[in-house]
Structure 1
């Protein structure tokens, strides 16, 4: 059997670019992480004791040095394959071509799911640490929204505003835009991506609009693709210190077998596997603040 064409290796730039254009959390990617050879990595934490009162009888007070290692284990391993009969490609005027299958899958499934997984994992960690709050922030005035967001930014400003990212819902971004209209100190721009989204800054912190609400919830069912879990809440915002997380793929493989290169039928076989995860570092977890949209009152709530 002839060798398969590994698009992930041969066309790495094109495929990575598609992922970057559709994944809003790309800026959270951790550089310099090498998963090879293991599925668990350990992050060392060094703590030392402080000063004690000096005496003038000679000698120094002996301090302590403690090194601990927190383990983090990869667990999110995803894959899919598609078979397209070569006559389906021909009779659809190439609509079902390998290039189109790749592009549509990455833009409509892979990229958004990466965001959904990362946002939900951050939201769940914030809830666990009691750093998440349920609130209907957009029920108030635009100034109320702006003040609440600034209040949460202040909680993590010690990590340096240039190191923070804030992901906000469309309703929140709309309120901020209305509040700042005419003040002359605020501008909105569209990112140069295939998914256009508004980006701005507050107090030096970059705000990125997540207009695709389907990927901005607290929990998901990943049985078949990704859908918000039954008990999921929409998110108002996530503010995160980039140094508080490790987010990286260990494996991203994409294969295309042409007719005759496999034994599954007379057509094209497309395979994609993504093995990745996101972790909030235990000793940096204070660099995460989340605001959840409070559940609707009443039996069923209103559709958004």
Structure 2
């Protein structure tokens, strides 16, 4: 049987899933991911355009013509090099359905291992880069009395830094979502005249800001150990809220290898699956003000 490296097709299939299976799917599908170019498998370049401002016009003469813009490319190196491999004995699967069986194995691996790890890496890397750019997280202990005040302060800071309101996303833990749902400043009107048996209390947006599905608390930490899979680091702090505009980050992923080899002497008669990727998460330097955190004190 011919063995093919289907890394490109595998990556395309995963990218179609990202918005639906990742808690931070909107960040993995940020528009910025279409605005960089690959230099090689580990290095990308992101463009930056700058211009001068306007000057007074002159009706009597023609000014000196010159180029008043500059375009530069900033190289970024992907440091997160990950791989996974497994052997499968033919007797452990239905021999008339080997590829589908491998597909089932990789599907479980993606859902239960890789995707949670990508979530953990994403939020912790954003926090690390953000604080590394001299930013400090809010450490207010959140309650139903003050949770919206903290949110409003984040929003005001972004407004003053000209971050577009449209598109901002508020990621919260289940505990913080409960605080928001019960915040004193939120008023609900329930239509008891309908025959609906469901009363929806969840707040899914505040002003123009979307509040997606709650992110499990263990996937909203400041530091993780990625030695094998992912686990919360002993030094980690709890991230309670993250207000972010997706254009503040870039999340490149390059699958260099994804291949299934049939049983052979080299694999001692077993199916052999291996995949390898280079991936990372970067905060764009000129968009650092489009991110805000509230973390454990």
Match of 2:2 in 1: 3
Match of 1:168 in 2: 172
More divergent stretch after superposition (71-80 vs 36-45): 36-45
Q: Are residues 12 and 199 of structure 1, via their aligned partners in 2, closer, same or farther at CA, if it must alter by over 3 Å?
A: farther
Match of 1:266 in 2: 269
Alpha-carbon deviations, 1:91-138, whole Å to 9, x = none? xxx9x9323311110001111111111101111122223433252533
Q: Identify the match of residue 246 of structure 2 among 229, 237, 242.
A: 242
Question: In structure 2, how many angstroms separate the alpha carbons of the residues matched to 1:266 and 1:58?
Answer: 84
Q: Identify the match of residue 78 of structure 1 among 79, 82, 107.
A: 82
SS at 1:122 equivalent: helix
Residue 254 (str. 1) matches residue 253 (str. 2): no
Q: Are residues 68 and 213 of structure 1, via their aligned partners in 2, closer, same or farther at CA, if it must alter by over 3 Å?
A: same
Alpha-carbon deviations, 1:187-216, whole Å to 9, x = none? xxxxxxxxxxx7711111111244322221
Unaligned segments of structure 2, at least 5 residues: 191-201
Whether the aligned pair in 1 keeps the contact of 2:50 and 2:71 (CA below 8 Å) is yes
Match of 2:152 in 1: 150
SS at 2:123 equivalent: helix
Residue 183 (str. 1) matches residue 188 (str. 2): yes
Quote how far apart the aligned CAs of 1:251 are: 1.8
Question: In structure 2, how many angstroms separate the alpha carbons of the residues matched to 1:13 and 1:61?
Answer: 49
Q: Are residues 57 and 87 of structure 1, via their aligned partners in 2, closer, same or farther at CA, if it must alter by over 3 Å?
A: closer
Size of the aligned set, in residue pairs, is 275
Q: Identify the match of residue 279 of structure 2 among 263, 276, 280.
A: 276
TM-score by length of 2: 0.77
Quote how far apart the aligned CAs of 1:45 are: 3.3
Match of 1:202 in 2: 206
Question: In structure 1, how many angstroms separate the alpha carbons of the residues matched to 2:150 and 2:237?
Answer: 19
Residue 221 (str. 1) matches residue 225 (str. 2): yes
Superposed CA RMSD in Å reads 3.5
More divergent stretch after superposition (128-137 vs 19-28): 128-137
Quote how far apart the aligned CAs of 1:176 are: 0.6
Unaligned segments of structure 1, at least 5 residues: 186-197, 295-304
Q: Are residues 240 and 11 of structure 1, via their aligned partners in 2, closer, same or farther at CA, if it must alter by over 3 Å?
A: closer
Question: In structure 1, how many angstroms separate the alpha carbons of the residues matched to 2:89 and 2:58?
Answer: 85
Whether the aligned pair in 1 keeps the contact of 2:169 and 2:243 (CA below 8 Å) is yes
Q: Are residues 134 and 152 of structure 1, via their aligned partners in 2, closer, same or farther at CA, if it must alter by over 3 Å?
A: closer
Whether the aligned pair in 2 keeps the contact of 1:156 and 1:241 (CA below 8 Å) is no
Quote how far apart the aligned CAs of 1:146 are: 1.8
Q: Are residues 278 and 293 of structure 1, via their aligned partners in 2, closer, same or farther at CA, if it must alter by over 3 Å?
A: same
1:131-150 matches, within 5 Å, as 131-138=135-142, 140=143, 142-150=144-152
Question: In structure 1, how many angstroms separate the alpha carbons of the residues matched to 2:5 and 2:60?
Answer: 72
TM-score by length of 1: 0.76
Alpha-carbon deviations, 1:135-161, whole Å to 9, x = none? 2533x3x13112212221222243222
Q: Are residues 98 and 244 of structure 1, via their aligned partners in 2, closer, same or farther at CA, if it must alter by over 3 Å?
A: same
Alpha-carbon deviations, 1:238-267, whole Å to 9, x = none? 12222221112122643333334x721222
Match of 2:113 in 1: 109
